[in-house]
Amino acid sequence: MTSMLDIIMAASGLSDYGICSFDAVADCLLPCLAKGRLPEEAKSIICVLFPYKVPMEKGNLSSYATVPDYHEIAGRMLTGVANALSKAFPPFEFVWFVDNSPIPEVYAASLCGLGCIGDNHLLINKRYGSYCFIGTIVTSLEMPLTGSGKISECQHCGRCVKSCPGGALCSDGSFCREKCLSAISQRKGALTPEEINLLRKGGLVWGCDTCQDVCPMNVDAEYTYIAPFLQYANPNASISGLATAKDRAYLYRGKAVVERNIRALEDE
């Protein structure tokens, strides 16, 4: 069973994945419409990492927004994996999720042995650091588990908490989304003067990398091997380029939001 999964993953161009029990996350599923797609007799969760760090100079976009929108790329790759698994194990269901998922992805990925959970609430993988998107495939097939089935934690050095521009990360482990610069940069409508100053402090028109940039576990993070990320990476967004921009994560809130942020930085 495991060897078949390895073959299918390799054929799909994926190399970093693990398996945890569905029961291990059944009590902490996220409320979303996609929850209705879960197999009725879910047994296992296959967590898949999509590393996104690329070898280029930083621009005005956060690292995750530098590459093409992963929802489409990861979705296409997971579709191939799920279809192949369905053919290999015909009595069982294989349902994939990306982002819009009832699965607490970071928690499940850590249970799979794919990394520890940082104080910034991100998964930190040994090879790729926290520069990873996570996708999942939930199946009614009971599969051999990877990892210890326990959550692994980071070094708790405190650098991400101290460096968070908006103070969204707290020493008690809590997270305030309203203060998160990444969330602020994605907010529709007019920003307050305080939010604009915070945006300028971060220096990015979309997202925030501060907690990742200061993390000692990210120092030697490897670059991605995923071809579309490497081929179509672009670290900058410009007002003139928005008219023709496509397949970018920063477009999902509308071009007006990105243009507002660009102008805020230009007017600094």
DSSP states along 14-38: ---EEEEEGGGTGGG---SGGGGGS
User: What is the DSSP pairing of strand 123-124 with strand 132-139?
Assistant: unpaired
The pLDDT of residue 1: 61
**How far from 32 is each of 12, 75, 97, 175, 242, CA to CA, in Å?**
28, 18, 12, 20, 31
Strand partners, 47: 18, 136
Q: What is the pLDDT of residue 268?
A: 60
What pLDDT digit, counting tens, does each position of 69-84 carry?
Answer: 999 999 999 999 999 9
- Closest by CA position to 73, among listed 53, 94, 50, 100: 50
Residue 94 or 151, more confident: 94
How large is the average pLDDT for residues 112-137? 97
Say whether 205 sits in a helix, a strand or coil: coil
Q: What is the pTM of this model?
A: 0.95
Three-state DSSP class for residue 75: helix
Round the average pLDDT of the chain to a whole number and report it: 94
- The continuous run of DSSP H or E covering 2 comes out as helix 2-11
- Per-residue model confidence as pLDDT tens digits over 60-117: 999 999 999 999 999 999 999 999 999 999 999 999 999 889 999 999 999 999 999 9
Look at residue 267 in the predicted model and tell me its pLDDT: 80
- Distance from C-alpha of 113 to C-alpha of 20, rounded to nearest angstrom: 9
- Res 2 pLDDT > 80: no
Average pLDDT over residues 143-152: 90
Q: Is it the case that residue 212 has pLDDT exceeding 90? A: yes
Amino acid 234: pLDDT: 96
CA angle centred on 11, ends 8 and 13, rounded to 5°: 110
